[in-house]
Each structure stands twice: as structure tokens, then as C-alpha cells.
């Protein structure tokens, strides 16, 4: 599976997006802290969601003593945004600049 596909798959689930939002609000949380954010899931369920996020590169972990801390990695999302949205933004901006030039040239 390609990296983009892993990221899109990870972002497709609302629970995983919630976990990413919680890490955005406060980075470096333990499994227990993240588990408290989704009380409707078991610990194992949260672990499975985190594994998908890690596989996609959206979450990285680091051991600190006996704890495993989870950190948000925004780079994959930024890369996708640039790849998928950047080309449309450039085209849109180019069209607006042409319109501006045309309108200013006719006055």
C-alpha cells in the first residue's frame, strides 16, 4: 500500500481523527490518556487505531521510562495537502492573476 493510501485510510475513520485532534491539542500522551478520550472503546480498540495511525506515519512514539508517549506527526498531512491542494491553488491563483491583469489593462 502506498503512503498516501495509508494516510487517507487512517484519516477516513472519525475515531482516528479524534485521536489526532487530541494529540494536536496536547502532544505526548500515553495510551491511558488517549483511551480516556474515547470511553466507548476498549484499550485494545484504541491500540488498534493508534497502530493504523503509526503505520501511516501520523503518530510517532517514544519511550520515556516505563511509558510510551504518542506524538502527532503532521508531515504526511502537509505533504498530501501540498500535493493534492497545491496544484489547484496555483491554477486558481494563476487564473485570478490573469483576470486582474486583464481588468487593470482595460481601464
CATH of the domain at 58: 1.10.10.10
Examine the domain organization and report whether 82 and 103 are in the same domain. yes
CA distance 49 to 38: 11
Copy the grid coordinates of residue 99: 483576470
Residues 32 and 17 in one domain: yes
Cβ(79)–Cβ(10) under 8 Å?
no
| This prediction's pTM | 0.78
Q: Are residues 42 and 90 in the same domain?
A: no
Cα distance between residue 67 and residue 49, in whole Å:
18
Q: pLDDT digits over 10-64, tens only?
A: 999 999 999 999 999 999 999 999 999 999 999 999 999 999 999 999 999 999 9
Question: What pLDDT score was predicted for residue 81?
Answer: 84
Taking the C-alpha atoms of residue 6 and residue 99, their distance in angstroms, rounded to an integer, is: 39
- C-alpha cell read off for 55: 503505520
Question: Residue 39 is part of which domain span?
Answer: 1-73
So what's the pLDDT on residue 2? 78
Task: Based on the fold, state whether residues 91 and 106 are members of the same structural domain.
Answer: yes
Compute the half-sphere exposure of residue 85: CA atoms within 13 Å on the CB side of its CA. 6
Task: Give me the pLDDT at residue 58, please.
Answer: 97
Amino acid at each position: 500500500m502506498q503512503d498516501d493510501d495509508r494516510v487517507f485510510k487512517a484519516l477516513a475513520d472519525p475515531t482516528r481523527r479524534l485521536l489526532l485532534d487530541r494529540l494536536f491539542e496536547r502532544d505526548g500522551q500515553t495510551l491511558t490518556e488517549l483511551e480516556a478520550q474515547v470511553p466507548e472503546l476498549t484499550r485494545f480498540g484504541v491500540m488498534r487505531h493508534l497502530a493504523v495511525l503509526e503505520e501511516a506515519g501520523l503518530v510517532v512514539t517514544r519511550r520515556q521510562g516505563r511509558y510510551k508517549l504518542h506524538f502527532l506527526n503532521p508531515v504526511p498531512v502537509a505533504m498530501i495537502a501540498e500535493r493534492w491542494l497545491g496544484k489547484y491553488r496555483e491554477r486558481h491563483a494563476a487564473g485570478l492573476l490573469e483576470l486582474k491583469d486583464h481588468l487593470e489593462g482595460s481601464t
